[in-house]
Amino acid sequence: MADSRCMNPVWPCAMTGAVAALAGFPDLCVIIHGSSGCYYYPRSFLKVPLFSTYLLESEIVFGTIDRLREVVTEVASTGKPIAVVNTCVPALIGEDLKTAFSDVSAIFVDAPGFCGNAEEGTKRAIAAVAPAVSDTRIGINIDGINLLDLFWCGNLRETERLLGLLGLSVAVRFCCDTYKNLRSGAAPFTVSANSSYPSGVGTNLGSLLFLDIPKTVEGLVGVFPVTNCDAVLAEWKRAEEHMYYSCDKYLRKYNPPIVVVAAQESYAVFAKMMMERYFGSDVPIVFARDHGADGVPYSANSVEINAAIAAAEPDLIIGSTFEAATYRRAAFFGITPPDRSRISITARPLAGIEGGAVLIEGALNALMNRQKGN
């Protein structure tokens, strides 16, 4: 996967990533220090309570510290801990914003949108809350849970389920836990549901995306010798047998699909490997939202993106409705924002054993519906 740094036409900025990470702690009040647009954008994505300074032109000209102090003081009356996330315009002004809450205990996260993408903002937010690792903390941390992820809730539940089958308790969930629990300290070891959102806390023992599960379980057993892995590995094997059977049934009638994938690097590589393994697919183009692209730069020039997808003539697009709109003859399964193809209320995972099944099931149904329409 090439590491070409480039502008991204559809992926959220660092500020949104920082807010998403902090908003995963419901007992933490998150204040966005910026304009109304900087507030409503993450608010529309995350659908959780947030606060904002709603900066006006006059405040930007004469200074924003008084307005920030006013909002921080008001929010502090709730008695909950506070986190302030900086945005582009106040960052460019260069004010010493920490003086706005010198009398209030608050976390300050300098994550203006121009400093990078959502993943960079997430890193800055987690670094700011400074979670300590405690050797006496029982359990294992869950990594890679972020409210921007369409599958975050399902991933969390599926990861907790698998750890429970292994006989392991959960210490801290990054980032969907209480701030109080976070301050109690994290466990020394971590597993990840989505490695594109790494917390960097503890020693990571591996990913729980479907193809990584056997190796990760092996690592867990090495650290926790009392772990009973038989139930998880048996369930994984049964799931794989079902996937091979269902895909083989499709391939008896149709050729292996040509697939274009667009997502964060962790999901993009996962989807590519799953389609190659179970469908025998050709996956000529992989757009990795957080690390450029493999083969084609994911630049701000949508013409280049459209041309690359059209040239591949895919049978299936796994990504967002942005890519789906560029080549409407392909079947589509959404795994990354923006996905306006469906209303999603249930907690579907993309991680774990159930997550592997969700991906294959979604690809099969999309391909079958396309065949019916031809």
pLDDT at position 2, please?
34
Per CATH, which fold does 140-232 belong to? Answer: Rossmann fold (3.40.50)
Q: Which residues of the chain have pLDDT under 70?
A: 1-9, 290-302, 373-374
pLDDT at position 48, please?
92
HSE-up (13 A, CA, CB side) for residue 106: 31
Check if 140-232 and 241-373 are the same fold. Answer: yes
* Residue 163 CA from chain centroid, whole number: 20
pLDDT at position 73, please?
92
Per CATH, is 14-129 categorized as 3.30.2320.80? no
Is-contact 219 203, C-beta < 8 A? no
Residue ranges per structural domain of the chain: 14-129, 140-232, 241-373
Specify the CATH number of the domain 241-373.
3.40.50.1980
pLDDT at position 212, please?
98
pLDDT at position 302, please?
66
Cα(349)–Cα(161) distance, integer angstroms: 12
**Hunting for tokens 């799953």 — which residue is that?**
274
